[in-house]
């Protein structure tokens, strides 16, 4: 004699087929079960765990476990769902950034195997103490701190970044390769992010190529305005101005927009430059041979 859940299976499958959400959390499964338990005539002893076990064996529900070292994330996926749609479900209000955003904006010919997902931190109080040259020098002599919060999924590495709180400045909606709804940094915000963290963006040579490719698709006015709103402690305007000038394809008036920011300190294009050269105009150290 078939069990109650076996009898209810057609109705359960029909329900999952008709909800808009195809990537679910444990709480979603629990809510679906409790809201429909009576209609499906399921026993009170039927737990969400048993419910999931039945569906995994008897329907198109799949369990995906992202083994992030800090805290694994488990998702329940109904049917065939594009990879980026699944990734966008990892954290509320997350968005794609750095090399991944470069790829979608066609700023690179590479297909990155690391997908960068940014999760903004809560607002923090700013340190009122001014910058000091010695502290800048010491910071950039050390290796940059890279996120190790990485999980593997379908041949990719998914890297979760705890980004600076910006209130989602310069984040846009974007249609993915299979029409999935994504959130991604705008091209101008992308150019800022990759200048700030080239280690997540293929390195400084790749960043420079991205600036060259972006020439006809960006507003330097918009870029400068975003940079001012984000208000970094470090003088990243020197880095961005240097890239614009080094790219060799931006006008003097566009580059001048970055010269409006104060240039008070010597700064660095990246951490631990082995053979540095120096730009007097931007007071910036950069790797020898960057062209």
Distance (Å, whole) CA 240 – CA 141: 20
Distance (Å, whole) CA 186 – CA 12: 40
* pLDDT on residue 291: 84
SS3 of residue 23 by DSSP = strand
* Residue ranges of domains in the chain: 4-78, 83-124+132-287
Instruction: Map tokens 């690179």 to a residue.
Output: 108
- Asked if the domains 4-78 and 83-124+132-287 are classified in one and the same CATH topology, the answer is no
Distance (Å, whole) CA 180 – CA 184: 12
Tens of pLDDT, residue by residue, the chain (291 residues):
779 999 999 999 999 999 999 999 999 999 999 999 999 999 999 999 999 999 999 999 999 999 999 899 999 999 999 999 999 999 999 999 999 999 999 999 999 999 999 999 998 877 767 899 999 999 999 999 999 999 999 999 999 999 999 999 999 999 999 999 999 999 999 999 999 999 999 999 999 999 999 999 999 999 999 999 999 999 999 999 999 999 999 999 999 999 999 999 999 999 999 999 999 999 999 999 998
* pLDDT on residue 232: 95
Give residue 178's region: left, alpha or beta (phi > 0; psi -120 to 50). Answer: alpha
* pLDDT on residue 244: 98
Residues 6+ apart with CB under 8 A from 123: 165
The fold of the 4-78 domain, in CATH, is: Arc Repressor Mutant, subunit A (1.10.10)
Tell me the whole-structure pTM to 2 decimals. Answer: 0.93
The fold of the 83-124+132-287 domain, in CATH, is: Beta Polymerase; domain 2 (3.30.460)
Distance (Å, whole) CA 229 – CA 85: 30
* pLDDT on residue 2: 78
Residues 6+ apart with CB under 8 A from 74: 25, 26, 63, 64, 65, 66
Distance (Å, whole) CA 194 – CA 101: 9
């Amino acid at each position: 004699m078939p069990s109650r859940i076996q009898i209810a299976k057609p109705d359960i499958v029909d329900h999952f087929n008709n909800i808009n959400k195809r990537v679910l959390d444990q709480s979603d499964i629990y809510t679906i079960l409790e809201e429909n338990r009576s209609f499906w005539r399921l026993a009170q002893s039927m737990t969400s765990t048993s419910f999931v076990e039945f569906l995994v064996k008897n329907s198109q529900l799949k369990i995906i476990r992202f083994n992030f070292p800090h805290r694994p994330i488990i998702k329940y996926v109904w049917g065939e769902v594009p990879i980026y749609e699944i990734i966008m479900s990892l954290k509320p209000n997350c968005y794609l950034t750095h090399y991944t955003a470069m790829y979608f904006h066609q700023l690179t010919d590479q297909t990155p195997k690391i997908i960068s997902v940014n999760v903004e931190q809560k607002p923090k109080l700013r340190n009122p103490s001014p910058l000091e040259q010695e502290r800048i020098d010491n910071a950039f002599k050390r290796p940059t701190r890279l996120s190790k919060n990485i999980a593997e999924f379908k041949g990719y590495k998914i890297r979760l970044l705890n980004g600076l709180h910006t209130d989602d400045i310069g984040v846009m909606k974007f249609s993915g390769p299979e029409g999935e709804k994504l959130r991604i940094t705008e091209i101008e915000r992308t150019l800022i992010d990759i200048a700030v963290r080239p280690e997540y963006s293929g390195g400084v040579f790749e960043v420079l190529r991205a600036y060259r490719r972006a020439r006809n698709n960006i507003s330097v006015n918009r870029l400068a305005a975003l940079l001012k709103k984000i208000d970094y402690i470090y003088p990243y305007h020197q880095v961005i101005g240097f890239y614009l000038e080094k790219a060799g394809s931006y006008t003097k008036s566009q580059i001048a927009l970055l010269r409006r920011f104060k240039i008070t300190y010597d700064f660095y294009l990246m951490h631990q430059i082995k053979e540095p050269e120096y730009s007097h105009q931007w007071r910036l150290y950069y790797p020898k041979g960057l062209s």
